[in-house]
Structure 1
Amino acid sequence: MLRQISRSNFGRVAAATSLVAGATFLAAPPTQAQSDSSRVAISKSEFTPLTVSSNVQVGKNVHLVTLDFPNKTDSLGMTTAGMLMVQGEKRDGSGTIARPYTPVSRNDTLGKLELVVKDYPGVGNVSSHICASKPGDKLGVKGCFTKIEVKPNKWKKVGMLAGGSGITPCLQVAEELLSSPGDETEITLIFCNQSPSDIFLKDHIDALAAKSGGRFTVHYCVDKAGVFDFWKGLTGYVNADMVKKYLPPPTDDSMVMVCGPPPMYKAICGGKKFEKGKPPKQGDITGILGGMGFTNANVFKF
């Protein structure tokens, strides 16, 4: 199947899928009247059932799922960078479980939220539950919870390393800063995927970069280009040379944000620290970034 995708077909597929998702991200800010009448739709203490209004596949095993709030004037009430918990059925049918997800819709979007979720067939629990949902289904959502507060000009430069669906918190931060009046933060993203055909939301990301006035720069990196002989981006796993060339150095006014699968964390910055019954902690900075002198002061693990 992969060998049958030509350069032109790849472009059309990428454009079609990312335009579907990207078109909904840049919602117009609410009017003052809407802002005054809005209320926060979900709770931090209990799961709120939200109705699935749309489920669109935007990439290989990647879905854009829209959840409607009880009222059209309700808001998410999120502080960037924030996340929420989504409840789903366990694969073995033994009950429910909850996992964290990052909304990709703007916080000023009223009446709904949007999630980009990657399914892991045969393995995922909540991810498979979300991706299999149909319009009219209910999903339990709780939050939002702030992971790191992002403010205009908090840092001079922000670097991002995202792997696969780890792009979602990075996009949330980028959109927040790029839409903030007076912000001058320079943002650089290295977005890693297995192959060119795995890259999703590319048109949306490219549009953000094009409209940023040079403030947002994106470098796509794939494990292997394979049959895509037209590939001109980065190839191979992220290494120290890539970090040194494209991302800001460890300084007091810079921050590097990382989000991806566990092997990526291990190689790039070390994993987060998990203790039973406690929220995850950042853990020590090891891996490539640790070896380059980065510390917890200038690295954040989503």
Structure 2
Amino acid sequence: MFPLRPPLLRSLLTRRSLSTAPDPLPKDANWPLYLSIFGVSGLALWVYWQKTGQLQWDPVKNAQERRRGPTAALDRDEFRTFELKRKEPYNYNTSRYVFALPEKTATLLPVAACVLLKAADDETGPKDDKGRPVVRPYTPISDSRKVGEVDFLIKKYETGKFTPYLSSLEPGDKISIKGPLPKFAYEPNKFSQCGLIAGGSGITPMYQLLKHSLSIPEDKTHWTLIFANVSAKDILLKEEFDALAQAHPDRLNVVYVLDKPEKGFTGPTGYVTKELIKQHLPGPELGEKTKLFVCGPPGQVAAVAGKKAGMKQGELGGALKDLGYTEDQVFKF
């Protein structure tokens, strides 16, 4: 680069009043030469960066990507393999599993929806009684737009076919995931009051529903959750539910039920009964303005709402039928 001559530098730094025209550029200024050098140098740098891949800038493409947000990491028609990033103990029989997703992707699950998990290697993974790979549905607890990760809270069943295998995985090991599998298409303000009855690890779809609804300012739906467990140490996501209830006292009420309560517990004890449902949840007289969701161990679901028929809802039964609810008012996860 050529240095600026003193007369030129002085003329560039001198400012006069608006009523006086600025000094003309000195006659000996080499502006055409400077501009041509800068232009040629800039063009050369641009070509070099493009060829070496050090500069990849498409204003239109980048604006579209920012507007679109993350892309979907999953495929509903085939399993994709993901690496276990972290495994964190949650309590004595449940762990949080965090799987890595590709860069700039997220699960983008609709609410409510789950995914299917199976071993990444069908040959070494668990098999069912017919020799087929074991596949299990789970609902992530992380936000569906969380980029680069997906979190699951999964309880280990010692006699189960899949969770002992899952609990044996270490960071760096892989799992296969397929989804989403839509379960219930939630619409804000479609219902004025909703009831949730959950037991044990069946709480995750309820958490997905509540987080989604309560994050929508214009949604005025009121929720009541009855969450049944054996003891206090079995309550999953309690801190999260308590925080949601505190942040939305006009929209969420949480009722914890324990079968074997510790000293000082003041909530209901035993099982989820007709009396408990009638006391806390919206009644069937609200018609189409109410909806009850049920998820938990098969025995609890059967006692509360009747058995599911595989992936289908099955006939309504149990306590909810006795209380007068209709099949349209109840959904079983």
TM-score range, shorter chain: 0.7 to 0.9
Within 5 A, what are the aligned runs for 1:210-221?
A: 210-221=246-257
1:107 matches 2:138: no
1:256 matches 2:289: no
Determine which structure has more spread, i.e. the larger CA radius of gyration: 2
SS of 1:288 mapped into structure 2: helix
Alpha-carbon spacing, 1:211–1:97, altered in 2? closer, same or farther (3 Å): same
Shift of 1:129: 2.3
> Of 194, 202, 210, which aligns to 2:238?
202
SS of 2:90 mapped into structure 1: strand
Q: TM-score, normalised by structure 1?
A: 0.83
Cα deviation code 1:190-245 (max 9, x no counterpart): 111011221122111101111113211101001121xx211111100111110001
Unaligned 5+ residue runs, structure 2? 1-62, 120-124
SS of 1:229 mapped into structure 2: coil
Give the Cα–Cα distance (whole angstroms) in 2 for the partners of residues 134 and 87 of structure 1: 15
SS of 2:108 mapped into structure 1: coil
1:64 matches 2:76: no
SS of 2:107 mapped into structure 1: coil
Cα deviation code 1:50-106 (max 9, x no counterpart): 1111111112311111111122x1021211000000003217896621111011111
Alpha-carbon spacing, 1:135–1:32, altered in 2? closer, same or farther (3 Å): farther
Q: Which residue of 2 aligns with 1:87?
A: 118
1:283 matches 2:314: yes
What is the number of equivalent residue pairs in this alignment?
A: 263
CA contact (8 A) 1:87 1:98 kept: yes
Shift of 1:33: 5.5
**What one-letter code is carried by the residue in structure 1 that aligns with 2:303?**
A
Greater alpha carbon shift after TM alignment, 242-251 vs 34-43: 34-43
Give the Cα–Cα distance (whole angstroms) in 2 for the partners of residues 157 and 63 of structure 1: 32
SS of 1:184 mapped into structure 2: coil
Identical aligned residues as a percent: 34
Alpha-carbon spacing, 1:32–1:219, altered in 2? closer, same or farther (3 Å): farther
> Of 217, 223, 229, which aligns to 2:263?
229
CA contact (8 A) 1:269 1:288 kept: yes
Shift of 1:109: 1.2
Q: Which residue of 1 aligns with 2:105?
A: 74
> Of 54, 72, 75, which aligns to 1:43?
75
Cα deviation code 1:16-65 (max 9, x no counterpart): xxxxxxxxxxxxxxx99556252110111111001111111112311111
1:161 matches 2:197: yes
Compare relative contact order (CA 8 Å, sep 6+) and give the higher one, 1 or 2. Answer: 1
Give the Cα–Cα distance (whole angstroms) in 1 for the partners of residues 132 and 313 of structure 2: 30
